[in-house]
Chain A
Amino acid sequence: MRICFSLFCFILFVSGCSSQDPDNEKFEVVYTIEDIEMEEAEKNETQQLTIAIVPKQINIPYFNAVKEGALEAGEDLGVNVIYTGPTFTDASQQILIIKDLIKQHVDVIAISANDPEKLAPILLEAKDKGIKVITWDADTIPEARDFFINMVDPETLGRHLMDILAWNTDEEGEFAILTGPLSAANLNEWLHWIKVQQEEYYPNMKLVDTVAHDDDPHRAYVLAKELLIAHPNLKGIIGNSSEGPPAAAQAVKEAQKEGEVAVVGLSPPNQMNEFLKDGSAQVVTLWSPKKLGYLTVALAKNALNHIEPYDHQEIAGVGKIRVKSDMVIMGEPIDFTKENVDQYDF
């Protein structure tokens, strides 16, 4: 009987081992997968991130469209976006603005650089302070930033600009290029590829002049008029900066040379709508600056979360991006003609 009793006790003890679980009565955890990444991601989301977007200059339609996109992204992604830039394309003003942003302890500075060399020291200083620096639209020297967000592949764009001019001039005759600030790296690269394309495929065409207008609409207009006067046989003008084509179209229109002098280039559709429709400009090509703004903010946020951009990455609200070494390419340029220009609003 004593044996029975001790046996009973022992069984109680044994069965007691498995049934003790004061925390959760209904379920007994057998195995748990540790999950650390989730916590980290959550931690980062709780902080309010501030991303500063610095354009080459404010108050031109192109950069206004960028601002719209950037702010939209800020709202979508839950980050604070500061959009600030110089009133005209000037590197020293941008330096001052960046100094101010460093004082504000922003998390990211995304800049469209007016001068790749001059801006480098201040951007390096910002990097030293732990601020992420990326560039968009116009690059600096590679050391001064993490990566560069390019709208389109410069080679593709340069060659395409040359192509659309050629289509509208029957691949022959003189043409001129109306470019923005000479210091802007992106414009110079496009310029290079325009020339390469012309030399490769269009031997009957001749680049007669290249003038820079520093993205000042009025100066561009003046320069365009001078071009028309200086080169009476001019068959076409390429504006490789957003203020170029409208100025050129305006000048052509005023000179009543619609159709005689083809105007192509890079410019937002809204600015060119009228000119495209009345025939003073034939084709302009561009990307969506809104999309660019959106992408810049999205990639800036990703960079803060240690997600570096990679080739074929899917960015919500933008689509797939391409990456070539440390350069992000947003997509392909869009051609605007009088048929489709109404579809676009920037």
Chain B
Amino acid sequence: MTFNWLNFRNYRLRTKLIVTYVLLTVIPMSLLGYIAYSQYTKSIEEQVGEYIPKLLEQANENIANQVSEISHLPDLLYNSSQVVGVLRKDAHQNRSSLLQDEFTINSYLSRTYINGGNPDILGVFVVSKNRVYESVKVPYRNFDLSNYSIPYGQNIELQGTEGMYILPKQTTLQFDGNPPFILLMKQLTDLENRTNLGTILIAVEVTFLKDVITKLTDKGEANLWLMDQHGHIIYHTDKNLIGTIDDDFINYPIQKGSFRTTTEKSNKLISIHSIEETGWTLVHSIEAKNLTERTDLVRNATIIAFLGFVVVSTVISILLAWNVSSPLNRLIKLMKRVEQGNFNVDLSIETKDEVGMLANSFNSMVMEIKDLIRDKYQIELKQKEAELYALQSQINPHFMYNTLETIAMAVEDDEKETVVQMVTLLGRMLRFSISNRETLVSISEELMQTVDYLTIQKIRFEDKIDFVVHEEIDARKYYTPKFILQPIVENAVKYGYVYGRITTIEITISIIENPDTRVEEVVFLIKDNGPGIKEEVLDNIQVLLESDPMGKRDSSFGLINVHARITMSFGNGFGLRVSSFPGQGTEVEIRIPALDAGNEGENNELEKN
């Protein structure tokens, strides 16, 4: 549970909001609905449970009345003194008088019972002193005197004077068409003489029960049955069950009232009423779902309304959650963009709520950051420009000094031509370095500066230094940052010069196409045949080259200076590469993009940025 809870905490805010809203609406509503519905059905059950036993009571009383009427049927026999007189006689008479008696009684039975008021009587039998009189409505079979569960006949001594009922299927007696009937067996007592006259058996079809019971089951949903005190079913709405025994009868918790089954698959509401007069129990059993049928409409309507409400509330909750979370999501996206360096963002949210305030704060924060960055950037840029200017305008004072020394010596030697040449060269160099403040110059101008320098050095070292220029492009057409070639050459002279031999500096200017970017690049290659650079120094140089170009700006290395400026202007793909083999000389490659007259302006602009 804790784990899940933690999990839930990590869910998206939107999910959490939706889940919470839905739970907050769905749970109370479903609980309310459930409780209301169950209470409603329960109260219906209770009402029915209270109502039906009362109906049953009436029906049972009705039945008891009818039964009591039936139980009085035998008394009709007493109305005829002739019949009673015959019954009082014993059987020891001659045949004709016996037959006469039989005629008398049979015709009385027919008159009184079969054609009498009660249409349900199937047959009447009178057993008296080994004589049997009968009158039946429909043919019968299996009237077996000896086959009853209790002994009867002329010696019968029924307890009390009440009759007893032989219930359906308890006797072998059957009538044609097999109608269910109850057999009333009653002792005939000579009321005057207080002796036993015999027994009367009246078979009464259970139609009267049917009439009463069918009234109670108007729709046929309910099962009704009537049973005696032993659970023997006298009448059942399911005809097949008449005569069987209700096994649950002894388990029924009450005799009058209603109860619910709890174990069966479909709950039933059983109402029961037993009446003392007959000892019979009338049972009404209905499935609970039938009772609540009418409430099903209410229930369905409630469920539909509930579902509709759930949908609406879910939609509302989603909208609400969306309202809260979508600005946050936008905020997240914008923050990512800010993180990537794009400060041109605007979280436009009009609302005045917390989200709106957050958006406003965010906007103002981004603006603030943007301003700060711009300020800092511009300061930095200005600083860099200043540095660049400082860097490019550097002419080595040593060189000045040495050149002037050389000029002085030439004056001393009176080499007028040489002096004029050197002063001219030096002057041109100085003018180049100070004349214009443009950062870009044509390669020819840059090359001329370098050549001027080398020429001066060559004069100074009296041809111990030589140089070759391979100009493979139209140097006037392409442009280059100022002062990138001369410092490298100066470096080559400085470190490449070995006393006692001629140092040759070879400058090659070519244009190649970068295989990766398909951009034309101008490559300056400066080779010397000096002693080369020691490996550790070379490594050191490589490290410096790869480090922040702005870092070591005070370095005396012209190499680093040039490299820094190129990378600052054109990016990391450009700059210097130094390769050296001890004893074989050093090779420096300067790589810049090809800047021809066409895109010079553009590049100027780029540089200014």
A residues sitting closer than 8 Å to B (CB atoms) are 1-3, 5, 7, 10, 14, 18-19, 21, 24-33, 35, 38, 41, 68-69, 72, 76-77, 287-288, 290-291, 294, 314, 316-319, 334, 340, 343-346
Cβ contacts under 8 Å, B46 to chain A = 30-31
B351 sits at the interface (CB 8 A): no
A-B pair count, CB < 8 Å, reads: 119
Cβ contacts under 8 Å, A25 to chain B = 262-263
Cβ contacts under 8 Å, A343 to chain B = 84-85, 88-89, 193
B548 sits at the interface (CB 8 A): no
B557 sits at the interface (CB 8 A): no
Give the distance to chain B from A197, nearest Cβ to Cβ, in Å: 24
B78 pairs with A30, CB closer than 8 A? no
Query: Which of B108-116, B268-276, B310-318 is the interface stretch?
Result: B268-276
Q: CA of A314 to CA of B411 in the docked complex: distance in angstroms?
A: 176
B192 pairs with A290, CB closer than 8 A? yes
Cβ contacts under 8 Å, A344 to chain B = 192-193
| 15 intermolecular pairs with C-beta atoms under 8 Å apart | A1-B5, A2-B5, A14-B34, A19-B262, A26-B251, A27-B253, A28-B260, A28-B261, A30-B50, A31-B271, A290-B193, A291-B194, A317-B191, A344-B192, A346-B192
The 9 closest A-B pairs by CB, nearest first: A288-B192, A30-B49, A32-B257, A317-B161, A33-B256, A290-B194, A30-B258, A31-B49, A316-B161
Bits for B42-61, please: 1 = Cβ < 8 Å to A, else 0.
10011001100110010000
Cβ contacts under 8 Å, A345 to chain B = 193, 195
Q: Which chain A residue shows the least CB distance to B257?
A: A32
Contact A3 B27, CB 8 Å, known A26-B251, A26-B262, A290-B193: yes
Q: B residues 1-48 with Cβ under 8 Å of A? A: 1, 4-5, 8, 23, 27, 31, 34-35, 38, 42, 45-46
Q: CA of A61 to CA of B256 in the docked complex: distance in angstroms?
A: 51
Give the distance to chain A from B164, nearest Cβ to Cβ, in Å: 13
B246 sits at the interface (CB 8 A): no
B72 sits at the interface (CB 8 A): yes
Contact A340 B85, CB 8 Å, known A1-B5, A31-B50, A294-B194: yes
Q: Which chain B residue shows the least CB distance to A27?
A: B259
Q: B residues 570-584 with Cβ under 8 Å of A? A: none
Q: B residues 170-215 with Cβ under 8 Å of A? A: 189, 191-195
Give the distance to chain B from A191, nearest Cβ to Cβ, in Å: 25
Q: CA of A26 to CA of B270 in the docked complex: distance in angstroms?
A: 12
Q: Which chain A residue shows the least CB distance to B34?
A: A14
Give the distance to chain B from A177, nearest Cβ to Cβ, in Å: 25
Q: Most A CB atoms within 10 A — which of B5, B46, B254?
A: B254
B88 pairs with A35, CB closer than 8 A? no
B346 sits at the interface (CB 8 A): no
Q: CA of A7 to CA of B53 in the docked complex: distance in angstroms?
A: 39
Contact A29 B257, CB 8 Å, known A2-B5, A14-B35: yes
Q: Most B CB atoms within 10 A — which of A5, A68, A345?
A: A345
Given A19-B262, A319-B75, list of 6 further CB < 8 A pairs?
A2-B5, A14-B31, A27-B261, A30-B258, A31-B53, A316-B160
Cβ contacts under 8 Å, B161 to chain A = 76, 316-317
B162 sits at the interface (CB 8 A): yes
A27 pairs with B262, CB closer than 8 A? yes
B273 pairs with A2, CB closer than 8 A? no
A291 pairs with B1, CB closer than 8 A? no
Partner of A291, one of B8, B31, B72, B191: B191
Cβ contacts under 8 Å, A291 to chain B = 191-192, 194
A319 pairs with B191, CB closer than 8 A? yes
Cβ contacts under 8 Å, A26 to chain B = 248, 251, 261-263
B258 pairs with A31, CB closer than 8 A? yes
Q: Which chain A residue shows the least CB distance to B270?
A: A27
Q: Which chain B residue shows the least CB distance to A28?
A: B260
Give the distance to chain A from B251, nearest Cβ to Cβ, in Å: 6
Cβ contacts under 8 Å, A32 to chain B = 254, 256-257
Q: Which chain A residue shows the least CB distance to B267?
A: A28
B252 sits at the interface (CB 8 A): yes
Contact A28 B191, CB 8 Å, known A319-B78, A343-B85: no
Q: CA of A28 to CA of B195 in the docked complex: distance in angstroms?
A: 51
Cβ contacts under 8 Å, A72 to chain B = 194
Give the distance to chain B from A319, nearest Cβ to Cβ, in Å: 6
Partner of A30, one of B34, B72, B269: B269
Q: CA of A27 to CA of B254 in the docked complex: distance in angstroms?
A: 10
Give the distance to chain B from A321, nearest Cβ to Cβ, in Å: 12
Q: Which chain A residue shows the least CB distance to B264?
A: A26
Partner of A29, one of B72, B84, B89, B258: B258
Q: CA of A33 to CA of B55 in the docked complex: distance in angstroms?
A: 12
Q: CA of A14 to CA of B195 in the docked complex: distance in angstroms?
A: 68
B53 pairs with A33, CB closer than 8 A? yes
Cβ contacts under 8 Å, A21 to chain B = 262
Q: Which chain B residue shows the least CB distance to A41?
A: B276
Q: CA of A79 to CA of B262 in the docked complex: distance in angstroms?
A: 46
A288 pairs with B257, CB closer than 8 A? no
Cβ contacts under 8 Å, B261 to chain A = 26-28
Give the distance to chain A from B563, nearest Cβ to Cβ, in Å: 63
B259 pairs with A29, CB closer than 8 A? yes
Partner of B276, one of A7, A31, A38, A68: A38
Cβ contacts under 8 Å, B78 to chain A = 319
Q: Which chain A residue shows the least CB distance to B52?
A: A31
Q: CA of A2 to CA of B16 in the docked complex: distance in angstroms?
A: 13
Partner of B253, one of A24, A41, A314: A24
Partner of A318, one of B72, B191, B262, B270: B191
Q: B residues 226-243 with Cβ under 8 Å of A? A: none
A7 pairs with B194, CB closer than 8 A? no
Q: CA of A69 to CA of B258 in the docked complex: distance in angstroms?
A: 45
B252 pairs with A27, CB closer than 8 A? yes
Cβ contacts under 8 Å, A28 to chain B = 259-262
Q: CA of A198 to CA of B269 in the docked complex: distance in angstroms?
A: 72
Cβ contacts under 8 Å, B191 to chain A = 288, 291, 317-319
Cβ contacts under 8 Å, A5 to chain B = 1
Q: Which chain B residue shows the least CB distance to A65?
A: B194
